Amino acid sequence: MKIILSDFEAHLRFAPLSLTRPIGDIRVGLFTNLERWSILLPDDHIGFQSESYLRDEFEELNDGKIVNACIIPNEDFVASIVYLEDNCRLMLGNNTMAISGTGKNIINYKGEMPILINNRWELLSVNAAAISNDIDLIKESISYQKIPKDVIVIGPKDSIYLEEGAILSACTLNSKEGPIYISKGAEVMEGALIRGPFALCENAVVKMGTKIYGASTIGPFCKVGGELSNVIFQSYSNKGHDGFLGNSYIGEWCNLGADTNVSNLKNNYDSVRSYCYEKKEEVNTGLQFLGLFMGDHSKTGINSMFNTGAVVGVSCNLYGAGFFPKHTLSFSWGEPNALEPFRIEKSLEYANKMMERRSEKLSAEEENILVHLKDVYGLK
């Protein structure tokens, strides 16, 4: 069987995170939906249906069961997809969950409710549930090690999962409010304080003295330090120094300079407004706590500052005193009140310099995506 993870016309609601990938490749909990479906249906072929400029990098399938990529699947939902008959459309209220063939025959979903995410800021709101669900998905198939004797545990030990190969030294793990999952090759250095729900993905690092509040996910090969609360890192990104980051999502290959700080609460305690790429304007998120959303390959210098609900596009190089705009266009370079266009050749050069430190480099397909984004969303 082929499963097609479709953006279902919601692509821009998840920008800037989705500017460089389909929605099904955005991380929440421990996994992306591509990874989740591959675990749930290991013998099936999983692909995408997204924007045309992403097709060369992310495999597009045109023949199979089309599944809403905004849904985090549970067992009932997966079973509904497996047994969905030809020419049927699976509905949850007004939301299409899946389509087989023409989809002309309507079927209402009656299983346990899965998690449906409509906008990028909801990724943070559902992260606690996603972490717990993902642990339940894999915990019976993974080998775990004992908690080291020099690690302080607060709360139930059976809610702490340390994969074989995880490294922990003289840190504190508090599982009272949710589970803690440390993947193989990941490291928690001495003096770190972690409250669940929390997921540290493969080969990621929590540096000395770091303070992390749940629900937070640190994606593969990321490094974090300072103070973090309800954050998600996609992968290969760094926040290695002091500074506060709360209720925020950081894309791939990003770097936050020392003492970069993000506001996640307005002084008047009102709900936060944030830029929406779909509507091309700020919208009311309905959330009281909301910080920064940063697209791939963007970086900040020391002492950079961002207001509540700030959005930074793809491939920005930001530095200098003062707060950056609520929406910083992709391919912006410079200080808050003096931003200039980031030339595409320099953007590609700087991206490769960071990636070379991890023995990686931009593929031709990834370069083409960035060139496209420069033309469409870049600062002119």
The residue written with tokens 């310099």 in the block is 353
Helix-strand-coil split of the chain, %, nearest 5 = 20, 35, 45
Neighbouring residues of 178: CB distance < 8 A, sequence distance ≥ 6: 128, 131, 132, 159, 195, 196, 197, 198, 214, 215
pLDDT at 62 over 90: no
Per-residue pLDDT tens digits for 334-371: 999 999 999 999 999 999 999 999 999 999 999 999 99
Instruction: Tell which residue, 96, 110, 104, 138, has the closest CA to residue 4.
Output: 96
Q: Which residues pair with 161 in a beta bridge?
A: 181
Share of the chain above pLDDT 90, in %: 98
pLDDT digits (tens, 9 = 90+) for 203-248: 999 999 999 999 999 999 999 999 999 999 999 999 999 999 999 9
Q: What DSSP string runs through 236-287?
A: S-EE-SS-EEEEEEEEES-EEPTT-EE--B-TT-PPPEEEETTTTEEEE---
DSSP 116-135: E--STTHHHHTHHHHHHHHH
Euclidean distance between CA atoms 188 and 109, whole angstroms: 42
Alpha-carbon Rg for the chain, nearest whole angstrom, is 20
First to last CA, the chain: 45
pLDDT at 245: 98
d(CA 27, CA 120): 11
Domains plus CATH for the chain? 2-118 (no CATH), 124-377 (2.160.10.10)
The pLDDT mean for the chain works out to 97
Distance CA 366, CA 373 (A): 11
Q: What is the pLDDT of residues 136-170, one digit of tens each?
A: 999 999 999 999 999 999 999 999 999 999 999 99
* Residue 344 main-chain phi, psi, to 5 deg: -60, -40
Mean pLDDT of 116-120: 96
**CA 130/CA 140 separation, integer angstroms:** 17
Token pair, residue 181, equals 């999952």
Q: Give this prediction's pTM.
A: 0.97
- Find, among 227, 231, 30, the residue nearest to 137 by Cα: 30
pLDDT tens digits, residue range 249-300?
999 999 999 999 999 999 999 999 999 999 999 999 999 999 999 999 999 9
